Amino acid sequence: MTTARDIMHPGAQCIGADQNLADAARMMRDMGVGALPICGADQKLKGIITDRDIIVRCIAEGRDPAATKASELGGHLHCVRAEDGVDTVLRKMEQHQIRRIPVIDGDRLVGMISEADLAMGHREGQRLTDQQIVDFMDGVYMKR
């Protein structure tokens, strides 16, 4: 069975809950990613913030990204366990219409799964079927 661990991008880097959104934006730029998990002082996953959150929920509302903490925008957290099967991963991403999902092992962040990870797994021909990809795309993009 293909698991979340098999398709995730390991070694996700967190933004600290008390760090500001300007720091988050620089981290995203430097790492070439569009989302960062938010971790508290206890190093446990507290949320996730996307580049879109920074634009729509901070800048567009006239807030200062240098004065806004990552924890202020971290929305409801959806994640999967490292041992969850790929069907569970796809179902959660479709159900919540999200494009990225953190992977945890116990209470520790071990990676992230993005659409790119799903596509690479499909391209490699060993992880996702054509039908799984079609169903995922329909579930995430056609239900809006």
Count of Cβ atoms closer than 10 Å to residue 102 Cβ? 25
Res. 115 pLDDT band, cuts 50 70 90: confident
Question: Could you give the number of structural domains in the chain?
Answer: 1
3-state secondary structure of 111: strand
User: Residue 100: left (phi > 0), alpha (psi -120 to 50), or beta?
Assistant: beta
Minimum mean pLDDT among 13-17, 46-50, 78-82, 119-123: which range? 119-123
Domain containing 35 — which CATH number? 3.10.580.10
The structure's pTM equals 0.83
Q: What percent of the chain has pLDDT over 90?
A: 56
E strand segments, 42-106: 45-50, 80-81, 100-105
Q: Can you give the residue range of the structural domain that contains 127?
A: 4-141
Q: Is the distance from CB of 14 to CB of 27 less than 8 angstroms? A: no
Residue 15 φ/ψ, nearest 5 degrees: -95, 140
